[in-house]
Structure 1
Amino acid sequence: MYENDKNNKQVDGMGVRRKVIDKLQEIYASELTNVNFAYDGDKSLFTIGALPHVKNVYTVVVEDASSAKVATSMTPGENKSPGGSDMKRMKRPFQVRIFKVELSFAGTVPMDSIARVIRGQESDNYEKAIQVLDIILRQNSAKKGCLLVRQSFFDNSLSNSIDLHGGIKGLQGYHSSFRLTQSGLSLNVDVSTTTIVRPGPVIDFLLSNQDIKDIRRINWGKAKDVLKSLRIKTTHTNAEFKIFDLSEKSCSEQTFLWKKRNGNSSDAVEITVYEYFKQHWHIELKQSAHLPCLNVGKPKRSNYLPIELCYLVSLQRYKKALTVLQRSSLVEKSRKNPSKRKSDLSSALKCSNYNSDAMLRRCGILIASEFAQVDGRILRAPTLKAGNDQDLIARNGRWNFNNKKLIDPKQVNRWAAVNFSTRWNVQDLVQGLIRCGEMKGIKIESAHTIFEENLQMRDLPGTPENRVDNMMNQIHQRLPGRPTFLLCVLPVRKNCDIYGPWKRKCLVESGIVTQCMAPEYGRTKLDDQYLTNLLLKINAKLGGLNPQLQIERNRAIPLVSRNPTIIFGMDVSHSVAKKSNIPSVAAVVGSLGWPLISRYRASVCTQSPKLEMIDSLFKLEGGKDNGLIRELLLDFYSSTKRQKPEQIIIFRDGVGEGQFNQVLNIELDQMVKACKFLDDSWFPRFTVIVAQKNHHTRFFVPKGPRDDNVTNVPAGTVVDTGICHPRNYDFYMCAHAGMIGTTRPTHYHVLHDEIGFSPDDLQELVHSLSYVYQKSTSAISVVAPVYYAHLAAAQVRQFVRFDDMSEAASSASGTPSPLPELPRLHENVRSSMFFC
């Protein structure tokens, strides 16, 4: 599809392309035998049955008001525009845009491939068939004016919006997609949330976004970044444009050539934007005379508009990174209890009215009005062991250490406390920690010193690194030797700029185990529960164990306790910023001390931005393997008294179904090479499992006879029938108890299993691994190795300020800059659970 101008340029903008196809269908209805289209908004168009081959290229004329530049004259004082300018309402002629649409036959998608897969037969086309059905759902919502975000749809209902401040709103909609299950073709519907810019005057948005009240304080560098590609309408013409850039000069200084008509001729005169609007539109700019203009033109043809005459249109996604407070607010305000969630989904399904969609009907699809009912099982919580061989009994996925000691407590000696905050009495904190530690079996010596930051350091200009360096210099000067542990009190809980530099200084440069904490708003006293949670983290970092699985201790884990087994957790952390040159961080954790499955260490490295597959598991450089796996395998070998793992279990997080083959072909292949490089005669057995949290399947349990009165499923719920894939090996598990909102199960996909687990044994192992998270007294939603990998990547990412990198970091030739290497942890802490 291209616009029929002298450049024959491809049409940009999904909304414009959809409008053109709708017009094509209307104009050529009889010629195309009134066939229905399913259009994806890009280059794929599907029909049921073949189109008549009358011709391949169609001309489509679309009326377009946004490009009109002619208006009647106006007299000041007659009428006011929405933006406050005095003007007449103008009658503007529609201009037309002419498009050429070429339709060419690409192939057929047999829809009966879906039925074949459901019957358990092989089919190469069923994924494409499902994609076509999802495109029909998208088209259904697009015609209703919804904002489309992949398979999620959002309308402009104010009741569904959440104010996140900063000119940003959270918008609640719904997800809708088809899935193949053992019960047949299913429609997966769930609540979904996205962020949008608040519609209204551009100036108001910028003031709110930068949290200022004076337009003279606007940071125009940030404004340019946040406004680029947003759509605006003008108050004087109601025309719609996309923002390309900001002008370098203000409205009163920025000039352009104006073709001013003199009778039948026109003369080009140079004029400022300010004077042009004053002379031609009779609008005297008040706010934006000394502000930059919005450039809504093209790279080689600028078109300037004063900011005060522009307002942001509705339903525009905000794609920048949210602040910590905005993200927390979005999560908190988006939560829905199970009954509310189920009610909202029923309403969304009713409003969608999919059963009236002509294409779905032609495909023979009718959506049932009720939710699917499936059978589930509740696994019994594993027994945990505390010190003195005492049992920890988990009820609904939770337990406590009241009157219990840790199973493997470590002594805390040669330590000190550091205070970057003025809100806590650190002496009381230290005494409370020593007292609570004694109750839990941890012998904590008196702190050698409490280091209080000089108040002047907080007020002096400088970086967080300066504050950290100053504090560390005090520690080295006043302590007789290197401490084994430092307790650090930070000034704020969220997004503290000291955290990253402090962790780097301790873990990379000094090799000191450290635990950070921060004052909680409104908390004036630290109770035993808070102190116990703090001790769990400290003990794990120092090499201790808090609880332990009874079956782990008794060597009774099926298959795992019988043969030396290492368990890997793998994850990749991507920057939330949209800059293309910020590297991703890959992390792999591996278990230590078989037959234990509760102690881990991590290897972390950078890789290409947004790359999901980990490409450095095996990395041959100069005849040596410098990959992530090698160190983990060697540490396992040392911790098991020189035993190589005969079995390797891999839990992979963060990959979609379309990447499963890559996990096997790229990542598993690298692991096999890493093992072979260490010992050419070593052939361990592998089991590969993907853990997915980012999906839209939810479970509800009826409270009573009324269907709409539902609650969360209990901890330990497993569903492996009805809604699972008809051919692949997968299951859903809610190991944890959902206390707030609606529980989200983890979807486990077993991609490869050479070890030979039975379904029951594997599910019990996954369930047990949700109970070995050392910093918690509750089961977690995903196996601990995956969570540890996520934490390790997130923490090490803060050692380097990746998000401060700019697009300018690329070389002038356009080639990307080399990936910055992450600093290597000090050998004293390299094998510790520093991420706990």
Structure 2
Amino acid sequence: RKDGARQVSEMIRFAATSTNVRKGKIMKLMKYFQHNLDPTISRFGIRIANDFIVVSTRTLNPPQVEYHNKKFSLVNKGSWRMDNMQFLQPKNVAHKWTVLYCDSRSGGHKISYNQINDFGRKILFQSKAFNISLDPEVSIRPFTEDERSLDTVFADLKRSHYDLAIVIIPQSRISYDTIKQKAELQHGILTQCVKQFTVERKCNDQTIGNILLKVNSKLNGINHKIKDDPRLPMLVNTMYMGADVTHPSPDQREIPSVVGVAASHDPYGASYNMQYRLQRGTLEEIEDMYTVTLEHLRVYKEYRNAYPDHILYYRDGVSDGQFPKIKNEELRHIRQACDKVGCTPKICCVIVVKRHHTRFFPSGVETPSNRFNNVDPGTVVDRTIVHPNEMQFFMVS
């Protein structure tokens, strides 16, 4: 069962502890268990140190983010602002769009029409500042919690050639999953979902800007890119691929696993297409990587008039014991697909492991700008505690 919003909020609040507090808890447990006094551990000749290992680190210089007309934003501790800047490459065609809201017939809190209208005007006003081409005429349409009502609305939007529907989701009665399935899977309408609470209570410029970041990407625009640095030249003609497999719960063996593979088709790795497959449950390696890669190469060639010279393949959700399968199966199928279309790109596979038990603690103290005393974003550890033979590193993002 999925946790509710309140449970998730409380869990995040509990987990967001200072590194000093977390380190203190670990040291307290080490002192309590007294592993070095355990005779079994002693017979194996193992001794656990009383303090943490000190490792050498290096911190990558943060890049500058480039926007329209060669305007740049400085990155500070993993974040940046785009004040008075426009998206790098928005689509210049005026997009037909609408705002949908739930007009509940079963009671409950309803959002006022004036709030919806004000929200639509703010979207339109700020889209001009960001240089997104939205049709100046926005329609506001209701739907009910009955799924047939959603079908009717989305079918009409499809017939009327709408490019985007911004859907205000109520606190209850209808779910995000239902809207996405109806709009994007069944009717082919792009959607941007916004919580009703956000429209009513948090409808400020920053929120509108964050919404438009997603809208521009969904309309095949490019928000920004990394500033070119002659000291660190970007790979030219590169396709960035990312893949993951979502598995059913252990008690649902008959349900298939879902494969998702995205790949870029622009010079900056910002615009991408997606392929998904269903495969045998619990199988981690992607069975149909050959045809998936063929389709991504076809789209890349369609947009760039050439096949990639480099493929950077990011793979998520793989345990250490499955690394050989990824190398022997998935990478082999990627190479076979490249051979099929007659290209020979250099391929680099980066397996991203987020669920590990290695924790880094800075040697400094808390400051007003870093009250949790976290390790700086961009910190890299590639010595002392990494695999002796494999190319492994830790990166703090």
Structure 1 length-normalised TM: 0.44
Deviations 1:68-95 (A, max 9, x none): xxxxxxxxxxxxxxxxxxxxxxxxxxxx
1:582 matched to 2:255? The reply is yes
Question: What is the CA-CA distance between 1:669 and the residue it aligns to?
Answer: 1.4
Greater RCO (CA < 8 Å, at least 6 residues apart): 2
Alpha-carbon separation, structure 2, partners of 1:704 and 1:515: 42
C-alpha deviations, 1:546-605, integer Å up to 9, x for none? Answer: 111112xx78754712xx3212111111234732222211111111123x2222211111
* Aligned with residue 492 of structure 1, among 171, 174, 197: 171
Task: Tell me, yes or no, if structure 1 residue 408 matches structure 2 residue 97.
Answer: no
Counterpart of 2:271? Answer: 599
Which of the residues 353, 357, 366 maps onto 1:692?
353
**1:666 corresponds to which of 329, 340, 355:** 329
CA apart distance, 1:608:
1.4
Distance apart, 1:731 and its partner CA: 0.7
Deviation at 1:475, TM superposition (A): 4.2
Deviations 1:254-286 (A, max 9, x none): xxxxxxxxxxxxxxxxxxxxxxxxxxxxxxxxx
Q: Does 1:323 align with 2:13?
A: no
Partners of 1:445 and 1:438 in 2: how far apart?
10
Tell me the CA shift for residue 432 of structure 1.
0.5
Which residue of structure 2 aligns with residue 166 of structure 1? Answer: none
The residue type paired with residue 375 of structure 1 is: S
Please give the alpha-carbon distance, in whole angstroms, between the structure 1 residues aligned to 2:38 and 2:198.
52
- The one-letter code of the counterpart of 1:442 is I
Residue number among 486, 499, 524 corresponding to 2:201 in the alignment: 524
Structure 2 Cα separation of the partners of residues 392 and 403 of structure 1: 10
Give runs of aligned pairs for residues 786-797 of structure 1, distance below 5 A: none
Q: SS in structure 2 opposite 1:567?
A: strand
- Give the CA RMSD over aligned residues: 2.5
Tell me, yes or no, if the aligned pair for 1:700 and 1:710 is still in contact at 8 Å.
no
Contact 1:574–1:585 (Cα < 8 Å) also in 2? yes
Contact 1:468 1:501 in 2 (8 A): no
Q: Which secondary structure does the structure 2 equivalent of 1:520 belong to?
A: helix
Structure whose residues are more often helix by fraction? 2
Hey, what does 1:703 align to over in structure 2?
A: 364
Deviation at 1:335, TM superposition (A): 3.2
SS for the counterpart of 1:380 is coil
Q: Aligned residue for 1:423?
A: 111
Q: Give me the TM-score of the superposition, normalised by structure 2.
A: 0.89
Q: Which amino acid aligns with 2:70?
A: D
Say which SS state the counterpart of residue 263 (structure 2) adopts: strand
Q: Partner of 1:572: helix, strand, or coil?
A: strand
Q: Which has the larger radius of gyration?
A: 1
TM-superposed CA distance for 1:328, in Å, is 4.6
Unaligned runs of 5+ in 1: 1-320, 459-463, 619-626, 736-836
For the residues of structure 2 that align with 1:497 and 1:483, how far apart are their CA atoms? 22
Query: Whole-Å Cα distance in 2 between the matches of residues 593 and 582 of structure 1?
Result: 35
Deviation by residue 1:49-84 (Cα, 9 ceiling, x = unmatched): xxxxxxxxxxxxxxxxxxxxxxxxxxxxxxxxxxxx
- Counterpart residue number, 1:567: 240
d(CA) in 2 for partners of 1:368, 1:526: 52
In structure 2, the residue matched to 1:713 is 375
Question: Is residue 313 of structure 2 the alignment partner of residue 650 of structure 1?
Answer: yes
CA separation in 2, counterparts of 1:511 and 1:407? 26
- In structure 2, distance between residues paired with 1:420 and 1:733: 43
CA separation of 1:644 and 1:473: change in aligned 2, threshold 3 A: closer
Task: Give the Å deviation of 1:497.
Answer: 4.4
Change (3 A) 1:391 1:699: same
Q: 1:583·1:609 contact (CA, 8 Å) conserved in 2?
A: yes
Does the Cα contact within 8 Å between 1:703 and 1:710 map onto a contact in 2?
no
% same residue: 27
Aligned-partner SS, 1:711: coil
DSSP 3-state at the match of 1:468: helix
Distance 1:437 1:555, change over 3 A: farther
Which of 419, 425, 437 aligns to 2:127? It is 437
Q: How does 1:357-372 map to 2 (within 5 A)?
A: 357-372=38-53
Letter of the structure 1 residue corresponding to residue 259 of structure 2: A
Q: Deviations over 1:312-364 (max 9, x none)?
A: xxxxxxxxx34334445334323322111101111111122111121211111
CA contact (8 A) 2:155 2:187 kept: no
Q: Please list the CA deviations of residues 110-167 of structure 1 after superposition, one character each: whole Å capped at 9, or x if unmatched.
A: xxxxxxxxxxxxxxxxxxxxxxxxxxxxxxxxxxxxxxxxxxxxxxxxxxxxxxxxxx
Query: Tell me, which stretches of 5 or more residues in structure 2 are unaligned?
Result: 104-109
